[in-house]
């Protein structure tokens, strides 16, 4: 029955229902959240240990009050009040570091047995150590998923977290790949702040709420005591010195960059003692001298070696300086660390504008060819000019006109390529917003200022800072800024706070109904949204996922298209049979590709009678039963079984005769094969 078909008297009866006629149990069912808070029973249920280290053991638990799963940490050592206090210091300090790339703390307390605990976000994905080990072993999944540009994007987020922590006066002092988590949508979290120290506190009397008190949160037993991880500790940390500074963390960041390049720690050693001795004497081996890594980038080697300098004064002064050098490399510019000469700068300039340089050379060849052809033609005409001088002059004028047209065409091509080269890098919006702000402070040509304001507005828009985007578009007033201004204003009204994120349903509405937004803007907006909210509420996400699939697989949708997804006994159930979907992954060069269905774990997924031709589009998903009837597969038979295993497929449903011979036998040995 449709809403407008409901009779008024039915609605009246519904709203006039006598609450007193309800039983106590029925009334209680009307307020389940309120009732759960009145229940003073155990808040965290169903503990499952998922990790244990020297300081903490971590459990996956269910939070009855919030209705979700979280990670709960207990101290390994809690025999004394000092042990418990040190454990709780980490929780309180981390809770006061609010940043998208720092693990959020939800709660802390003492359990009924008197044992301290704190809860935090339950993070999916791998540690950076897992990723590096996978790359070192040349695991095909890791090699395909984590090329160098993706690793550097992850690294920049680690630097973002540390730059923020340093701005709060906090040193981590235990940065290493195992303390960094990488989620499926490229979200990155710096974890384990147990050794962190506050290097200063505001000396202005009584502390305001949220300010960090070094007297309370620092563990003073650390002074003169060696704590940290050999290979990532700076020399001043390895010798037990108490003079730890921002450069101590910069050294660890250099060690992490080094590992991303060669998959080894910077200093060799057969034991922890030997590694520490090498660290104290500056025994870092340049990455390009490592066996098998002679092709490592000269620029990145210079950055890593500067960050790993023996003397703190010779390292980067701030994490921001280190970030800028990485961004220079990723944008094709020489880094400050390598001190590039003129020839190196010319080579990089050519590489940055390879297409422009190629077209310029081709244009020159075409012009030379046209000139040569014209000269030959003129020469022939001159031979005839003895009898027909006027004809030769006419041909020469024709050559001159063709040359002018060709030169104009070449100029137009160069102008177009120059404009494209100036477009904003939407992979790193926050960094590029800062760069544009600095450029806009200078004396600019009015047209160039308007163009940069438009670029800045686009960057604000894709990270959902709609008020800032609207101000930029309004100040620019040219090109697509005029078309995007009303959209930015509409969503600024819907979400006045630029720091907050849209709900997934609201984001779907923006993608499904806002015509001025180009497809690439949609992809980047989705990507940055999911990086900052990696675990969305699945009910609301169904609307966004459906709209994204429509967006990726055909003409732009003009309305919101939710997925018709249900919940089975062991996961989600989704029937996409007959849908025009062949693409499930975002195609954004230079970033971590993400499948829009990845937040779900499927009990059953049906993609029958669709244009899907390659399992690579689904290989990131977790699916127990996969139905793939009547597909025109292009996937190599060598890759079918490994990809199905990666997906966790237990039952595969296909049409009769799809698989034969040895392949069918191999499939039947690895899973249940059902033929319809």
Domain ranges of the chain: 3-29, 44-120, 126-202+214-331, 352-421, 564-676
What is the model's pLDDT at position 223?
Answer: 42
What is the model's pLDDT at position 261?
Answer: 92
Q: Which residue has the higher pLDDT, 437 or 588?
A: 437
Q: Confidence band (pLDDT; 50, 70, 90) for 393?
A: low
Query: Which is nearest to 622 in space by CA: 595, 644, 647?
Result: 647
Q: Confidence band (pLDDT; 50, 70, 90) for 4?
A: very low
Distance CA 581, CA 189 (A): 33
Tell me yes or no: is domain 44-120 CATH 3.30.200.20: yes
Distance CA 485, CA 470 (A): 6
Q: What percent of the chain has pLDDT over 90?
A: 22
Mean pLDDT, rounded, of the chain: 78
Query: What is the tens place of the pLDDT at every residue in 249-268?
Result: 999 999 999 999 999 999 98
**Is the model's pLDDT at 649 over the cut of 80?**
yes
Q: pTM of this prediction? A: 0.54
Query: What is the tens place of the pLDDT at every residue in 329-353?
Result: 877 777 776 765 555 555 555 554 4
What is the model's pLDDT at position 77?
Answer: 85
Q: Confidence band (pLDDT; 50, 70, 90) for 312?
A: very high
H/E element, 567:
strand 565-567
Distance CA 48, CA 102 (A): 24
Distance CA 197, CA 245 (A): 10
Query: Which is nearest to 571 in space by CA: 602, 538, 592?
Result: 602
Contact 69, 47 (CB under 8 A): no
What is the model's pLDDT at position 467?
Answer: 94
Average pLDDT over residues 478-507: 86
Q: Confidence band (pLDDT; 50, 70, 90) for 474?
A: very high
What is the model's pLDDT at position 22?
Answer: 67
Q: What is the dihedral of CA 363, 368, 370, 375, to 10 degrees?
A: 170
Q: Which residue has the higher pLDDT, 103 or 356?
A: 103
Distance CA 27, CA 250 (A): 59
Helix 504-513 with 538-552: angle, nearest 10 deg: 20
**Is the model's pLDDT at 315 over the cut of 60?**
yes
Query: How far from each other are the two terminal CA atoms of the chain, in whole angstroms?
Result: 36
Q: Confidence band (pLDDT; 50, 70, 90) for 184?
A: confident
H-type alpha helices, 553-660: 637-647
Q: Confidence band (pLDDT; 50, 70, 90) for 314?
A: very high
Query: Which is nearest to 181 in space by CA: 124, 98, 248, 137?
Result: 124
What is the model's pLDDT at position 79?
Answer: 78
Contact 190, 136 (CB under 8 A): no
CATH of 126-202+214-331, one of 1.10.510.10, 3.20.20.70, 3.30.429.10, 1.20.120.160: 1.10.510.10
Query: How long, in residues, is the chain?
Result: 676
For the ranges 38-52, 222-236, 530-544, 562-576, the maximum mean pLDDT occurs at 562-576
């Amino acid at each position: 029955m449709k809403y407008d078909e409901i009779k008024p008297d039915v609605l009246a009866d519904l709203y006039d229902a006598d609450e007193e006629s309800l039983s106590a149990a029925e009334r209680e069912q009307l307020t389940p959240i309120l009732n759960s808070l009145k229940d003073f029973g155990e808040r965290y249920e169903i503990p499952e240990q998922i990790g244990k280290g020297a300081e903490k053991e971590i459990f996956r638990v269910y939070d009855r009050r919030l209705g979700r799963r979280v990670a709960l940490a207990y101290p390994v050592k809690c025999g004394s009040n000092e042990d418990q206090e040190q454990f709780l210091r980490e929780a309180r300090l981390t809770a006061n570091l609010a940043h998208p790339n720092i693990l959020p703390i939800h709660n802390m307390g003492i359990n009924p047995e008197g044992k301290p605990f704190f809860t935090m976000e339950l993070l999916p994905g791998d540690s950076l150590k897992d990723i590096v080990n996978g790359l070192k072993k040349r695991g095909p999944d890791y090699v395909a998923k984590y090329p160098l540009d993706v690793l550097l994007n992850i690294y920049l987020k680690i630097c973002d977290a540390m730059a923020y922590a340093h701005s709060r006066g906090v040193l981590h002092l235990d940065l290493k790949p195992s303390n960094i988590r990488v989620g499926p949508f490229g979200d990155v979290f710096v974890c384990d702040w147990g050794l962190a120290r506050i290097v200063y506190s505001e000396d202005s009397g009584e502390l305001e709420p949220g300010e960090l008190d070094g007297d309370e949160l620092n563990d003073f037993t650390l002074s003169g005591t060696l704590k940290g991880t050999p290979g990532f500790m700076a020399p001043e940390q390895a010798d037990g010195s108490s003079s730890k500074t921002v450069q101590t963390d910069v050294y660890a960041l250099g060690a992490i960059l080094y590992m991303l390049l060669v998959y080894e720690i910077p200093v060799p050693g057969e034991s922890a003692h030997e590694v520490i001795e090498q660290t104290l004497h500056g025994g870092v081996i340049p990455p390009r001298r490592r066996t098998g890594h002679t092709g490592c980038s000269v620029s990145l080697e210079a950055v890593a070696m500067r960050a790993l300098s023996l003397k703190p004064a010779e390292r980067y002064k701030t994490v921001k300086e280190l970030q800028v050098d990485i961004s220079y490399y990723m944008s094709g510019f020489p880094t400050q660390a390598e001190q590039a000469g003129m020839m190196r700068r010319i080579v990089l300039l050519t590489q940055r504008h390879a297409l422009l340089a190629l077209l310029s050379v081709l244009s020159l060849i075409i012009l030379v060819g046209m000139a040569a052809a014209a000269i030959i033609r003129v020469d022939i005409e001159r031979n005839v000019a003895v009898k027909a001088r006027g004809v030769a002059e006419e041909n020469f004028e024709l050559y001159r006109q063709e040359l002018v047209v060709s030169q104009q065409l070449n100029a137009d091509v160069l102008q177009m390529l120059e404009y494209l080269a100036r477009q904003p890098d939407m992979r790193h919006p926050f960094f590029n917003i800062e760069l544009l702000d600095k450029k806009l402070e200078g004396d600019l040509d009015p047209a160039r200022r308007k163009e940069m304001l438009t670029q800045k507005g686009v960057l604000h828009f894709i990270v959902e800072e709609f008020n800032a985007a609207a101000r930029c578009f309004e100040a620019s007033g040219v090109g697509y800024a005029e078309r995007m201004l009303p959209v930015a204003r509409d969503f600024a009204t819907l979400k006045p706070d630029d720091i907050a994120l849209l709900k997934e349903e609201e984001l779907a509405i923006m993608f499904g109904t806002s015509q001025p937004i180009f497809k690439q803007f949609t992809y980047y907006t989705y990507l940055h949204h999911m990086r900052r909210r990696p675990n969305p509420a699945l009910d609301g996400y169904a609307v966004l996922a459906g709209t994204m699939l429509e967006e990726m697989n055909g003409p732009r949708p003009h309305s919101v298209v939710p997925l018709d997804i249900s919940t089975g006994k062991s996961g989600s159930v989704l029937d996409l049979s007959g849908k025009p979907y062949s693409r499930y992954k975002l195609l954004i060069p230079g970033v971590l590709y993400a499948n829009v269905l990845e937040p779900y774990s499927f009990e059953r997924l049906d993609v029958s009678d669709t244009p899907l031709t390659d399992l690579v589009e689904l290989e990131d998903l977790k699916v127990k039963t996969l139905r793939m009837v009547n597909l025109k597969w292009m996937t190599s038979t060598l890759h079918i079984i490994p990809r199905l295993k990666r997906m966790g497929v237990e039952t595969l449903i296909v049409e009769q005769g799809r698989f034969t011979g040895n392949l069918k036998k191999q499939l039947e040995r690895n899973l249940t094969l059902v033929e319809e």
